[in-house]
Chain A
Amino acid sequence: MKRFVGFIKKEFYHILRDYRSLLILIGMPVVQILIFGFAISNDIKDAKIAILDNSKDEITQKLTQKILSSGYFILEKNISGTGDIENSFKQGKVKQVIIFENDFGKKLKKEGRASVQIISDASDPNTANILVNYTNAIISSFQMEMMKSQVIPFQIIPEVKLFYNPEMKSVFMFIPGTITLLLMLVSAMMTSISIAREKELGTMEVLLVSPLKPIQIIAGKVVPYILLSFINAVTILLLGYFVFNMPFNGSLTLLLSECLLFLIVALSLGIFISTFANNQLTAMIASMLGLMLPTILLSGFIFPIENMPGWLQVICNITPAKWFLIIIKSIMLKGIGLKYIIKENLVLIGMIMFFIAMSVKKFKVRLE
């Protein structure tokens, strides 16, 4: 035990003396959460549009007013002919053009139907999609208002209610995602690098030719990073709560213990990487490619898993981040207890056992 404590003490010296890395480790979560929270947002407001009103009657005026007062759009300019449409897109300012047909109002009153054309700049498909949806929604609600004066025999009025995130804030998505990403990176990358460093500098040779057991060497490497990553997790949660008003509906104890569980998954992965990485560079690249990309792309953090092709969904299932993201979102936003997330927990525990077993099997008590 004294050996083990001595080893951990040494690891802390390494971490604390490399103050640049330490600064990055502690500062990265703060910077990342602020960037994700403020800058990267799927919510669109003040999109610039142009309107080509061929009718210029009372109804088109009213509809235009309604669209512009929604807060999502700003009128960049009124255009007078179809030739200007492409030009305004090419100038790059206008994201969408709305065109009312000739005699829009008259047709609507006489025939009961009139056309409005929505042209979107789909070079950014997500934005285009969102803008079209917004416009559609505004037009249909305008239609409803108009129909109030008339009697229509059948009418279906959908009443939409958004649970857990009524304002659809994307930051609620990013905070769990960032915690996942950072715990994964800090824990897995740092442990694998710090074990690989001993190999690279040749100190592993001396450690191996000592009575230290492999398990003591590995655990000694892991313990300091558990502490460090846990501090990171708490920092992010505090930032989410105080800066972004992220709700905490579930139990804090459960949340923190789940963070700890995921930390151990990440650490065991890091150890596994270090069993085959012989220098710091390999360890870093393996952790970056092997962990960061799947955690961002395949966990449901940014892209919804449901939309992926079947084979990719299978790969998603072996990404630990996917399961942790479900857990953490369930706890924070839905406020549910342990019994609803037993399956996810079991998957994570299974992963820990797998990686530890593989690492123990692969750990070399010799140099080859």
Chain B
Amino acid sequence: MHSDLTPSPSALRPLRSTPSIKVENISKNYDKVVALDNISFEINKGELFGFIGPDGAGKTTLFRILTTLLIPDKGIATVEELDVVKDYKKLRKILGYMPGRFSLYQDLSVEENLKFYATIFNTTIEENYHLIKDIYSQIEPFKKRRAGKLSGGMKQKLALSCAMIHKPEVLILDEPTTGVDAVSRKEFWEMLKKLKESGITIVVSTPYMDEASLCDRVALMQNGKIFSIDRPQNITKQFNRTLIAIRSNQMYKLINDLRGLENTYSVYPFGDFLHYTSKENKINANELFEFLKKNEHKDVEIKEIEANVEDCFIELTKKAEGVQRRA
């Protein structure tokens, strides 16, 4: 019997659908380097879940734990109710995994690679062709070409096809769009959206903040910690400062001048503009305009904008660092 005051997690489970992935207090160290620091989260079935964070945030380590390749130092992780340590054999049958590095055989042709992965999962291309049709049909004209000779985008499509060919229940993609051109990246995400419709859980990591808005939910990661998990819209809503985009004819001088201002909270380049926030919540655009004019800036353009995920990320890391410094 469970006491009413401290219900066990299993007692809570029937209340809502079981999560596809459940991670509780996972930590992982490499020698003295902390890769994951007490991480917990849940991912629902059929969700497209993104891990966003810079290189070294711990995304790959986390994914390797979820794919049974690493054992966590502490904590419990289950995927489809299978423990990643104890039930690794069963789990490997239902996982589709695409590692960060391009990990197909360069000296095999497109078709041979796909065939190989189909065979080792005891299936055939024909049997599950419908799953990969949208993706694979794009590279099928090149099926006799060696994988090593494909372009970056085509390699990713092939890798995704290979990870999908055995109809996995959970698809784990480690930085699938890194090193891929903008058009292919867009296509890749459209494919993920389509795959999601077939009901599989998709977990993606990416260093590109702009891809976050394409996920159902995202977790922002840095230094082995998750500091926010939410829908992308909600994350941007958390941004409570006025954000201003500024441009002039001397961008470098502009950064220095703005940083020199007493009220400046943050300035960082973002595309053609600088994103600027002030310590005070209201920003007087005219005052700023005059200030820049005085400092010999021409063609000055100032506009208020909505924060995107990257702005939030920078804001949140800044806050987290501030907390650490105070502590």
CB-defined contacts of B122 to chain A, threshold 8 Å: 2-3, 211
CB-defined contacts of A10 to chain B, threshold 8 Å: 105, 108, 112, 116
B64 at interface by CB-CB < 8 Å: yes
CB-defined contacts of B68 to chain A, threshold 8 Å: 208-209, 366
Whether B116 and A6, one on each chain, are in contact in the complex, defined by CB atoms closer than 8 angstroms, is yes
8 A Cβ contacts from A160-213 to B:
201-203, 205-212
Q: Of A3, A13, A212, A365, which is within 8 A of B107 by CB?
A: A13
A36 at interface by CB-CB < 8 Å: no
Contacts A3-B119, A206-B99; A366 near B105 (Cβ below 8 A): no
Q: Of B103, B107, B108, B117, which is within 8 A of A202 by CB?
A: B103
Whether B95 and A212, one on each chain, are in contact in the complex, defined by CB atoms closer than 8 angstroms, is no
Whether A13 and B112, one on each chain, are in contact in the complex, defined by CB atoms closer than 8 angstroms, is yes
Nearest CB in chain B to that of A15: its residue: B107
8 A Cβ contacts from B68-119 to A:
68-71, 88-89, 92-93, 95, 97, 99-108, 112, 115-117, 119
CB-defined contacts of B121 to chain A, threshold 8 Å: 210-211
Nearest CB in chain A to that of B168: its residue: A209
Q: Of B92, B105, B106, B112, which is within 8 A of A209 by CB?
A: B92
Interface residues on B, range: 20 to 34
Distance from B33 Cβ to chain A, minimum over Cβ atoms (Å)? 14
A17 at interface by CB-CB < 8 Å: yes
Whether B107 and A210, one on each chain, are in contact in the complex, defined by CB atoms closer than 8 angstroms, is no
A230 at interface by CB-CB < 8 Å: no
CB-defined contacts of B93 to chain A, threshold 8 Å: 211
Whether A6 and B103, one on each chain, are in contact in the complex, defined by CB atoms closer than 8 angstroms, is no
Q: Of A14, A203, A367, which is within 8 A of B69 by CB?
A: A367
Whether A18 and B120, one on each chain, are in contact in the complex, defined by CB atoms closer than 8 angstroms, is no
Whether A6 and B119, one on each chain, are in contact in the complex, defined by CB atoms closer than 8 angstroms, is yes
Whether A365 and B103, one on each chain, are in contact in the complex, defined by CB atoms closer than 8 angstroms, is no
Nearest CB in chain B to that of A367: its residue: B69
B205 at interface by CB-CB < 8 Å: no
A134 at interface by CB-CB < 8 Å: no
Chain A 203-227 near chain B by CB (<8 Å), digits 1 or 0:
1011111111000000000000000
Distance from A363 Cβ to chain B, minimum over Cβ atoms (Å)? 14
CB-defined contacts of A17 to chain B, threshold 8 Å: 107-108
Whether B120 and A203, one on each chain, are in contact in the complex, defined by CB atoms closer than 8 angstroms, is no
Whether A202 and B69, one on each chain, are in contact in the complex, defined by CB atoms closer than 8 angstroms, is no
Whether B92 and A210, one on each chain, are in contact in the complex, defined by CB atoms closer than 8 angstroms, is yes
CB-defined contacts of A210 to chain B, threshold 8 Å: 92, 117, 120-121
Distance from B112 Cβ to chain A, minimum over Cβ atoms (Å)? 6
Whether A203 and B119, one on each chain, are in contact in the complex, defined by CB atoms closer than 8 angstroms, is no
A89 at interface by CB-CB < 8 Å: no
Q: Of A3, A5, A18, A367, which is within 8 A of B64 by CB?
A: A367
B67 at interface by CB-CB < 8 Å: yes
Nearest CB in chain A to that of B93: its residue: A211
Report 23 cross-chain contacts, Cβ distance below 8 Å, ordered by A residue. A3-B119, A3-B120, A6-B116, A6-B119, A6-B120, A7-B116, A9-B116, A13-B107, A14-B105, A201-B101, A202-B100, A205-B64, A205-B69, A205-B97, A205-B103, A206-B103, A207-B120, A208-B68, A208-B69, A210-B117, A212-B120, A367-B64, A368-B70
Extra A-B contacts (7), CB below 8 Å, given A13-B105, A17-B108, A368-B71: A14-B105, A201-B101, A202-B102, A203-B103, A205-B69, A205-B99, A211-B121
Interface residues of B (CB under 8 A from A): 64, 67-71, 88-89, 92-93, 95, 97, 99-108, 112, 115-117, 119-122, 162
Q: Which 9 interchain pairs have the tightest Cβ spacing?
A: A6-B119, A202-B103, A202-B101, A367-B69, A209-B97, A17-B107, A205-B99, A203-B103, A209-B67
